[in-house]
Amino acid sequence: MQNKLNTITETLDRVAVSRSKLYELMDAGDIRSVKVGKRRLISDAAINDWIAGLEAKSGNAA
């Protein structure tokens, strides 16, 4: 499986949170991101890890 880097907009479509909440999560280290030039990018793995963490916290791990 290829690990794609997603833009902020692409990530927002996947995680269904507001733009400000996404930046808050990245600043807190809850969602890992990388900076390439002036752009912030989030890997598929970082998104999947964050979702898995939410599921584990709520007891709904698949």
Average pLDDT, 10 consecutive residues per value, the chain (62 residues): 88 96 97 96 97 88 56
Q: Tokens 């999947």 correspond to what residue? A: 48
The predicted structure's pLDDT at residue 3:
84
Distances (CA, A) of 36 to 33, 39, 50, 53, 54: 10, 5, 21, 26, 27
In a 3-state reduction of DSSP, which class is residue 59? coil
| Number of other CB atoms surrounding residue 33 within 10 Å | 21
